[in-house]
Amino acid sequence: MPPPVRFDRVEGIGVVTLDNPPVNAFSLSQRIGVKEALTNGLQDPDILAFVICGSGRMFSAGADIREFDTGVAAESPTLPELISLIEDSPKPVVCALHGTAVGGGCELSLACHSRVAVTGTRIGLPEVTLGIVPGAGGTQRLPRLIGVLPALDAIVSGKPMIAERALELGLIDGLTDDSDELLKTSVSVARRLAIEPGPPHKTRDRNSQLLKVRDRPELFDEFRSRIARRARGFEAPFACIDCVEAATTMPFEQGLAFEREVFLRCRSSDQSLAQRHAFFAEREARKVSGLGPETPQLDIRCAAVLGCGTMGSGIAMCFVNAGIPVIVIESEQGMLDRGMEMIRKNYTSTVSKGRMTEEEAEARLTLIEPTLEFERVSEADIVVEAVFEDMDLKKKIFTRLDALCRAEAILATNTSSLDVNTIAAVTGRPEQVVGTHFFSPANVMRLVEIVRGHQTSPEVIATVLTLSKRLGKVGVVVGVCDSFAANRMLYPYSRQAQFLIEEGAFPEQVDRVIQDFGFPMGPFALSDLAGIDVGWRVRQHREHSRPKHLRYSAIGDRLYEMGRYGQKTSKGWYQYEEGSRIPIPDPDVVDLVLATSKELEIDRREISDEEILQRCLYPLINEGARILEEGIAQRASDLDVVWLYGFGFPRYRGGPMFYADSLGLRHVYEVMQNFYEIHQDWLEPAPLLERFAREDRTFAEWDAK
Ligand code: 3HC
Ligand code: NAI
């Protein structure tokens, strides 16, 4: 292994270059390398000052997260030790930032005596997203540099800022447009600092920003209430606020010790374990069997979307938001106008919320070309079909696409349940056909299930994976089966929720339990949001073709027949006041639920919150085990990603399969078996779950095989 740090001399300046691909993470060897370089340089009278910079794509992604679980992170020099060495250095240290400088990488820069960055560099402290606080002085130094409120915003949101903003706030001292100039500029800053009289200025001694809020101790509680809804259930955001508050109430050393203690406590918490799992799961999902860095990819410069309804309009926005021009094709002018109006309204609302300028919205709209001419598909590198969920219609469309599209074009379907192989089979190029299952609303939800047909080529899968990242989405590859992974796991969850209200619960109780677990909303509120009519249409196809010995809850159908379609009609499982999205329990639904139980001759019983949670969650985990065994998903952690991004599974619980591991598969199996004995029906434990429970194994072990 080449050493992860290089040392060079440039005009009397010691240049320390981090060289630890792919992200210059501060592993033990990199920490040792930097310490050695600085120690040697400090002893060398010919070295006047230092520049620390990064090689490759970025400055640094921070501490090496993989070392958290092995204990190596605690080996000396630890990151805080290294950072103190830098701050205390009698020779000035300048940090040269490019690409990304986050976490411990950013913290190291904060302790340097000056910071210079290339325009566009992303700088920040994303630790909170891993369930921890910055643990190398970030919560103490950042407020000293940029002020308490901007520091709170940055640390608690975890969102990096671009260098231009960092300059405005005083996080960095200089900016260069030209990355080739970064080293030269930094060396000249270092030379200037070296001749200044006295020791270099330390960030820890800067207290003027802290003094500005001395009379406003209440601002921290205000901040806590401000994030209470957004951060519900998460521990780390509140721990971050505690640390920044400590910066204003304690002397530097004591604040630092406080931060370290909180960091170590968070790092060993279940939440951080789960959030770190989520981080790596997302990255693992990009590694797909049969694909490698050598797999060629197609260049996507222009897209076409077929159908401008609910999904097509959202998908078109995804493309133009990423700067890819899109041709939107409809069969009728009225539908086309309606779809374009939806898109326009969406952008107008974004502008009114101050998240986009009018010019930006206009620029995006000009990238969308609405048309009724189907033949225009011939111009596209990828066509995403989003017409009605009807196999005959999709077959007709794909036959036409095959005749009209360029030979190398990707033909994608947004079907949510139909067989991608059957669709591919009507074309002469099944290797170019793939499922791209976006979630509604497509311009907001980040999950895309990439459905790999039997013949879909590795090039097409690789291209669509890269494309999803470009669209700001998280792509997860799954195989062909009825409803793929996400919805297939959702059905048992919603189904049990409905059985529970037949047996004795009410929608608001089920939703409360699920929300308390950490989901943004429960299954009934979700059904009202998605549309009871949409669920009804899906059930016509799937539940009515189910094996007849399996139960079916018809309450949702009754609501549909009553014209209660959910939020769109202000009545569904709940009632809604004009213009409000807040669900209010509805006595008519209570009557319907009671009447249904009576009709089914069910003696309603008190149902505990624990049973509700287990009856909703364990069957979906059980279905996940079947999906794994059938090879529909490559790994259990892929299913976690699907649930984190498709349905808002609480990130601090890592995803359903990780959660099941944390409970123990033996427990999950025993509870499922018990439910099965009582209710029979859909609740039979999956063979894989049973086997793993017996062998005391975990889904993580399945992934590691
Ligand atoms: N430690 C260990 N491995 C890391 C890492 C880190 N901090 N950051 C990224 N990696 C790994 C990834 O797992 C991936 O590995 P793989 O190729 O084996 O899957 C590889 O580096 C490349 O990462 P990405 O695919 O994510 O590369 P991108 O270019 O898409 O993104 C990034 C780059 C924005 C830097 C992104 O990797 C990222 O967000 N990294 C984590 C940043 C972070 O949270 N830093 C805080 C760490 S904790 C800390 O510093 C504690 C301190 O306060 C004491
Ligand atoms: P929709 O009914 O809102 O829109 C379909 C559009 O396709 C209509 O505007 C229609 O005029 C147009 N269309 C029909 N035939 C056409 C043709 N020959 N050429 C061009 N346009 C044509 O349907 P929605 O909800 O957008 O669904 C589209 C697809 O996405 C379906 O396959 C559905 O299963 C899937 N899907 C839907 C989700 C949802 O929540 N609505 C979620 C994920 C996938």
Q: Quick check: 543 pLDDT over 90?
A: no
In this predicted structure, what is the pLDDT of residue 71?
87
Q: Which of 107, 259, 385, 502 is catalytic?
A: 107
Is the Cβ atom of 266 under 6 angstroms away from ligand 1?
no
- Mean pLDDT over 683-702 rounds to 98
Please report which confidence band the pLDDT of residue 1 belongs to, taking 50, 70 and 90 as the band edges: confident
As a whole number, the mean pLDDT across the chain is 96
pLDDT at residue 149 is higher than 90:
yes
Contact 80, 137 (CB under 8 A): yes
| Closest CA relative to residue 655, chosen from 287, 291, 284 | 284
61 lines ligand 1 (CB under 6 A): yes
For residue 330 and ligand 2, the question of a CB distance below 6 A is answered with yes
Distance 93 CA to ligand 2 centre (A): 58
Ligand 2 centroid to residue 386 C-alpha, Å: 5
Query: φ, ψ for residue 474 (rounded to 5)?
Result: -110, 110
Share of the chain above pLDDT 90, in %: 95
Dihedral sign computed on CA atoms, order 582, 586, 592, 595: positive
Each residue's pLDDT tens digit, 189-236: 999 999 999 999 999 999 999 999 999 999 999 999 999 999 999 999
Compute the residue count for the chain.
705
127 belongs to the catalytic site? yes
Say if ligand 2 is within 6 A of residue 329 CB. Answer: yes
Residue 587's pLDDT band, with cuts at 50, 70 and 90, is very high
Catalytic residue among 127, 259, 385, 503: 127
Taking 90 as the threshold, does the pLDDT of residue 169 lie above it? Answer: yes
Q: Is 600 helix (H, G, I), strand (E, B) or coil?
A: coil
pLDDT for the residue numbered 579: 87
Q: With 90 as the cut, is the pLDDT of residue 540 above it? A: no
**What is the distance between the alpha carbons of residues 464 and 478, in angstroms, rounded to a whole number?**
13
How confident is the model over 284-308, as a mean pLDDT? 96
Q: What is the DSSP letter of 685?
A: P
Going from the Cα of 634 to the center of ligand 2, the distance in angstroms, rounded, reads 29
Report the nearest atom of ligand 1 relative to the CA of 160: 34
Whose structure tokens read 């929720």?
Answer: 497
Q: What is the mean pLDDT of residues 623-640?
A: 98
Q: Average pLDDT, stretch 79-104?
A: 98
Instruction: Return the pLDDT at 535.
Output: 84
> Which pTM value belongs to this model?
0.96
Q: Which tokens in the block code for residue 535?
A: 């669920």
436 alpha carbon, closest ligand: 2
Please answer whether residues 699 and 657 qualify as being in contact, where contact means their C-beta atoms are separated by less than 8 angstroms.
yes
**Å from CA of 114 to ligand 1 middle:** 25
Query: Residues 453-507: pLDDT tens digits?
Result: 999 999 999 999 999 999 999 999 999 999 999 999 999 999 999 999 999 999 9
| C-beta atoms surrounding 87 within 10 Å | 21
415-427 burial: b if 16+ Cβ within 10 Å, else e? bbbbbbbebbebb
Instruction: Summarize the confidence of residues 606-617 as an average pLDDT.
Output: 98
Mean pLDDT of 70-98: 96
Q: Residue 438: which pLDDT band, with cuts at 50, 70 and 90?
A: very high
How confident is the model at residue 551, as a pLDDT? Answer: 84
The residues pairing with 304 across neighbouring beta strands, listed in sequence order, are: 327, 383
> In the chain, what are the domains?
5-268 (3.90.226.10), 303-480 (3.40.50.720), 487-561+591-704 (1.10.1040.50)
- Verify whether ligand 2 is closer than 6 Å to residue 282 (CB atom): no
Nearest C-alpha to atom 22 of ligand 2 is from which residue? Answer: 307
Q: Tell me, using a 6 A CB cutoff, whether residue 182 lines ligand 2.
A: no
